[in-house]
Structure 1
């Protein structure tokens, strides 16, 4: 009887244990449609560009570096009417390729290479900024 219980226990342990290789990635495939099966991801967030650094903040915790290219500069120009200060962000919806940071390089864990601009809007809530200095 002990042999049968031991055999059943071993069988259940081996069938329930798997070695799933999990990788950490921010890519959310729920925003893709059949027509958009091109490897690009749609992101909604606040875009900011100042002195050769651009970021896209998605939600409260995810921040992507933005590749400095023509589309990024086009996005910056489209948001100009909505900014009162150079450091202000604008709400955007973009499609692009998510690029992981190369090992040993400084910066955000992921960057986005913007390929398509869907929309640019003024933030609904103005953030209070405290300026220090002249």
Structure 2
């Protein structure tokens, strides 16, 4: 009889915990839900916009940046850190990663910026030089 009572109490406790529901949501929960719905990706890397082409270079990948209002907003923010038009500026953004359409030139993935999180001053000691070879 004791085993039956204990089993009944355990089942009742588990069932009552399972039916708890929250009555309200906070702004943080709403924001997280919106970001999960849009499947936004957080990326940190170096950004440059030059001659109608925008690029975000992360340590793992290079992304073409979709040219839209948010990209222009980011470009305006990084202008203060640039000494030359081709300088890359460290940024942290959140956006949608989109595969490149077949038959189009460019990097395999694009990023459509949805949120600008941070813009940093470039490290003056960092001297990344990209050299192309024509053979």
Aligning the two structures, in what range does the TM-score lie when normalised by the shorter sequence? 0.5 to 0.7
TM-score (norm 1): 0.66
- Please state how far the C-alpha of 1:128 moved relative to its aligned partner: 6.7
2:67 is the alignment partner of 1:65: no
| Aligned equivalent of 2:27 | none
Aligned residue in 1 for 2:82: 83
TM-score (norm 2): 0.66
**Deviation of 1:103 (Å):** 1.0
Cα offset, 1:126, TM superposition: 4.0
Question: How far is the alpha carbon of 1:122 from its aligned partner?
Answer: 1.2
Aligned-residue RMSD, C-alpha: 1.9
Indicate whether 1:116 and 2:115 are aligned: yes
C-alpha distance in 2 between matches for 1:123 and 1:84: 10
Task: Give 1:25-104 correspondences, 5 Å limit.
Answer: 35=32, 36-38=35-37, 39-59=39-59, 61-104=60-103
Runs of 4+ in 1 over 6 A off after TM superposition: none
Secondary structure of the equivalent of 1:68? coil
Count of residue pairs brought into register by the alignment: 96
**d(CA) in 2 for partners of 1:90 and 1:70?**
18
Distance 2:104 2:53 in 1: 15
For residues 67-115 of structure 1, what are the alpha-carbon distances to aligned partners after superposition, in whole Å with 9 as ceiling and x for unaligned? 0001001001001110000000110000000000111111110000000
Mapped partners of 1:115, 1:123: distance in 2: 23
Q: Deviations over 1:46-68 (max 9, x none)?
A: 00110100000001x41000000
Greater share of helix residues, 1 or 2? 2
1:128 & 1:63 partners in 2: Cα distance?
Answer: 15
CA gap of 1:102–1:68, structure 2 versus 1, over 3 A, is same
